[in-house]
């Protein structure tokens, strides 16, 4: 008889190394939003994979970063670091051929870890000269006593199945903590807000994504159609104009793309109404962060 195994696997690293992409790849569905811009993930997001006697609970975390200029930055760093003491396995993710100051910052935090740490060297598909990879792996293996080192590509699913097998072997014995058909701990309301924010991030320039958040105002069913009203919060009037765009075109595009993903999530037709409002310096206001569900 196979013993039941269940445990928490924390995915940590600096911003933009592919943590959310890996979680989505492992689960075979979109749980965490993704974009090319750093600091897209702002919350701890659980992705649950159950296979027979195995339940692996992955925790996607915000990227640990050096800058702590605003309350939002400090909050995200605290959130990411908080998973280290309690995880059963830690996946430390870096980018192939690149080890930066913020990677070193994460590595320093891992010194207090009691759980086995796997080093994931992501984006190996972007390395043209594969001969460069072995010296990089050797260099990294001298920095920490890693339980395993996996060169992977989360987008191409390279070595991801092998990674999963190694994780499953190390999970502690114990009962499953979630129903086997559950894939995340996040509510529909949270996921809807995140999908809108993803389209917002992708549609705007460098500065805007960090000054915006999405709040779901209401979800009501009327005549078999789900009506969703959401507020996009920005910090300044100028940002509001950018999000709305010329004659409302950018906001319309954000809404159209978000609606398609939300309908896929809910398996239901929806009517989405978006408003853009200003909340002055909300990213550095702990009371505002609390009211928006961050603290």
Q: Can you tell me the distance from the alpha carbon of 16 to that of 122, in angstroms, rounded to the nearest whole number?
A: 11
Q: Rounded mean pLDDT of 231-253?
A: 95
Judged against a pLDDT cut of 90, whether residue 278 lies above it is answered with yes
Q: Residue 164 is encoded by which pair of tokens? A: 């999963």
Residue 180 has pLDDT above 60, yes or no: yes
Give just the sign of the alpha carbon dihedral 226, 231, 232, 238. positive
- Is 227's pLDDT higher than 90? yes
Q: What's the CATH number for 188-291? A: 3.30.300.20
**Structural domain 5-170, CATH architecture:** 3-Layer(aba) Sandwich (3.40)
Percent of the chain with pLDDT over 90: 85
Contact at 8 Å (CB) between 185 and 46?
yes
Residue 98: band (very low, low, confident or very high) from pLDDT cuts 50, 70, 90: very high
Residue 19 banded pLDDT, cuts 50, 70, 90: very high
Region 166-193 average pLDDT: 96
| DSSP 8-class letter at 235 | S
For residue 105, pLDDT beyond 60: yes
**pLDDT, averaged across the chain:** 93
Residues 153, 122: contact at Cβ < 8 Å? yes
Average pLDDT (168-177) is 96
Distances (CA, A) of 274 to 6, 167, 229, 258: 40, 41, 6, 10
**pLDDT range class, residue 1, cuts 50, 70, 90:** low
pLDDT of residue 210: 83
For 108-153, write each residue's pLDDT tens digit: 999 989 999 999 999 999 888 888 899 999 999 999 999 999 999 9
Q: Where in the chain is the domain with CATH 3.30.300.20?
A: 188-291
Which residues share a beta bridge with 34? Answer: none
* Token pair 């779901």 in the structure block, residue: 216
Instruction: Please name the residues in contact with 232: beta carbons below 8 A apart, sequence gap of 6 or more.
Output: 196, 200, 212, 213, 214, 243, 251, 254, 274, 275, 276, 277
Q: Is the pLDDT score of 260 beyond 80? A: yes
Cβ atoms 143, 125 nearer than 8 A: no
Confidence category of residue 38, pLDDT binned at 50, 70, 90: confident
Q: What token pair was written down for 179?
A: 């129903």
Query: What confidence tens digit (pLDDT) does each residue in 285-294 have?
Result: 988 898 888 8
Angle of helix 188-203 relative to helix 249-266, nearest 10 degrees?
150
- Structure tokens of 123? 């984006």
pLDDT confidence of residue 164: 97
pLDDT in tens, 50-64: 999 999 999 999 999
Confidence of residue 295 (pLDDT cuts 50, 70, 90): low
Question: Is a pLDDT exceeding 60 seen at residue 220?
Answer: yes
**217 burial level (CB within 10 Å; 0-12, 13-18, 19+):** exposed
Lookup result for tokens 């996996």: 150
Please name which of 231, 261, 259 lies closest in space to residue 243, comparing C-alpha atoms. Answer: 231
- Is residue 245 pLDDT above 90, yes or no? yes
Distance of CA 14 to the CA centre of its chain: 12
For residue 144, the Cα-to-chain-centroid distance in whole angstroms is 25
pTM here is 0.93
């Amino acid at each position: 008889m196979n013993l039941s195994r269940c445990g928490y696997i924390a995915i940590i690293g600096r911003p933009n190394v592919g943590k959310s992409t890996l979680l989505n790849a492992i689960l075979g569905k979109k749980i965490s939003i993704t974009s090319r811009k750093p600091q897209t993930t702002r919350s701890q997001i659980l992705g649950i994979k159950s296979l027979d006697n195995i339940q692996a609970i992955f925790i996607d975390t915000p990227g640990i970063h050096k800058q702590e200029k605003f309350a939002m930055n400090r909050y995200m760093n605290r959130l990411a670091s908080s998973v280290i003491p309690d995880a059963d396995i830690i996946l430390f993710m870096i980018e192939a051929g690149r080890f930066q100051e913020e990677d070193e910052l994460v590595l320093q935090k891992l010194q207090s870890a009691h759980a086995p740490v796997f080093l994931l060297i992501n984006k190996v598909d972007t390395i043209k000269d594969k001969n460069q990879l072995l010296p990089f792996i050797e260099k990294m293996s001298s920095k920490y006593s890693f339980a395993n080192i996996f060169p992977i590509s989360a987008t191409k699913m390279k070595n991801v199945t092998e990674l999963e097998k190694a994780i499953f072997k190390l999970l502690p014995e114990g009962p499953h903590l979630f129903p086997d058909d559950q894939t995340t701990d996040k509510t529909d309301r949270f996921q809807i807000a995140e999908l809108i924010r993803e389209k917002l991030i992708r549609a705007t320039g460098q500065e805007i994504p960090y000054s915006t958040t999405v709040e779901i105002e209401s979800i009501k069913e009327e005549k078999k159609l789900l009506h969703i009203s959401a507020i996009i919060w920005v910090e300044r009037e100028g940002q509001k104009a950018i999000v709305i765009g010329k004659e409302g075109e950018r906001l319309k595009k954000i809404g159209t793309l978000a609606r398609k993903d939300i309908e896929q999530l809910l398996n239901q037709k929806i009517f989405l109404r978006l408003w853009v409002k200003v909340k002055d310096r909300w990213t550095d206001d702990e009371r505002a962060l609390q009211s928006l569900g961050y603290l």
